[in-house]
Amino acid sequence: MIKIFNKFKTITSNSTVFFVALMLLLSACTGDNKPSELQKIVKRGTLKVGTLYGPNSYYIDSEGKKGFEYELAKKFADHLGVELEINPSYSLNELFPKIENGEVDVLAAGLEVTDDRLEKYRFAPSYTEISQKLVFKQGKEWPRNLEDVQGNLVVVDNSSHAETLTRLKEKYPNLSWTVTDEFDADELLQEVLEERIDFTVADSNTLAINRRYYPQISIAVTVQDERPLAWMLSKDVDQGLLSSLVEFFGEVHHDGTLLTLEDKYYGHIQEFNYVNTVTFIESVETKLPKYQKLFERYGSEMDWRFLAAISYQESHWDPHARSYTGVRGMMMLTLPTAKQMGVKSRLDAEQAIRGGAKYLQQLINRIPDRIKNPDRKWFALAAYNVGWGHMEDARRLTERLGGDPDRWVDVKESLPLLKQRKYYKNTKYGYARGDEPVRYVENIRAYYDTLVFLDEQQE
């Protein structure tokens, strides 16, 4: 299993007091009457953040600006009471000069804290950790260690991967590689798949996402154990901005913001299953075209690919699918639900898809308005799987246990507890296999992401 993120470090209330005190102390230590970097940011009303284009940092889709780093930077700008000004780059060689010449205030781009970088820059508190993997295409010769690497190994210029290989060359003198500024890390994975290069090095979070689309990517060895990621600042930045970042990251660790963002972008990425992923992609090519028009017709309110992902999880796009519990058809409707939705034959693909879409939309509409997407969709999916009553039991249980009943990342921890008597005996609807809706939601999210990616690639 690829471990993407460690559990976020627990920060005690005493630590929070320390962070605030440190911020006040450092803010006072300017040493002269010149305005601090933080004061400049507040005065001009904008926070300038440099980042990289890519699925982990920043991208734009049909719904607007997205990305883990983008959303975290937006929250920091809100924390300061200023607007966010994003300044994206296509390469590290283009990105780093922006912090050196003062074009941006901070770099938020999934940057690893390395020894070389610590000599040149300062860093905000770490928010997660990743490892580095040597990867190759499945079916090619598998190098069991770095001594066995024979072929063209390419990594991104100025990257932490290049630093790692430079350090490892002392132990493996025959190790050789080239660097490139023409491709980013995601594109190098594609180069491996197209057999234009033999190997590259990828971060564990980047790799976990890409293997959902490219299951032929295989891991050879871990070249670097987990190390922290953090935002980067200029070496000569004053303490005002740095202390504000210390306070901000203390808060987002405490209030669950980081946990929520992690779940939004990575919570559905579990242990990689090669067979399941290959089977799904094959079904997209062979089965989906037969039913795509129906998904587009009845899934227009929610994105047809979302409806298609649900149907694949339910039936693998088999209109005659059935389960031992009595649910049947493309959307695995129960007989009572089918009747309520006006479905006369659950084995008719169009009727089943129409009924499933109508039922899911009803569940979405029942979710309180204060709960926004994507959590709103995840709650509706869980209810589709386990039933509305058990979903509400889990939310009430979450609140009793001190979590947020309106946040999926909290409720999904409570759902499996509905299998335990000491918890379900105090619920309205009793026992439920609460771990199943959690896997159900995660699978559908993975299928949906893959469909979106494949659709974009085709376009």
- Residues involved in catalysis: 314
In whole angstroms, what separates CA 106 from the centre of its chain? 22
How many CB atoms sit inside 10 A of residue 170's CB? 8
Strands (E), 268-397: none
Cis bond upstream, residue 405 (ω within 30): no
Token couple for 293: 């028009």
**Cα 220 from Cα 168, distance rounded (Å):** 16
Cβ–Cβ under 8 Å, residues 419 and 425: no
Secondary structure string (H, E, C) spanning 332-351: CECHHHHHHCCCCCCCCHHH
Token couple for 58: 């920043």
| 3-class state of residue 382 by DSSP | helix
Identify the helix (H) or strand (E) that includes residue 449: helix 435-458
Which residues in 287-321 are b (16+ Cβ under 10 Å) and which e?
ebeebbebbeebbeebbbbbbbbbbbbbbebbbeb
How many CB atoms sit inside 10 A of residue 137's CB? 17
Looking at residue 114, what DSSP letter applies? -
> What is the rounded end-to-end Cα distance, in angstroms, of the chain?
32
Residue 224 pairs in a beta bridge with 132
Cβ–Cβ under 8 Å, residues 4 and 205: yes
In whole angstroms, what separates CA 19 from the centre of its chain? 28
**Cα 292 from Cα 72, distance rounded (Å):** 35
Distances (CA, A) of 121 to 94, 96, 97, 112, 114: 16, 10, 11, 12, 10
Residue 224: left if φ>0, alpha if ψ -120 to 50, beta else—which one? Answer: beta
Token couple for 1: 């299993």
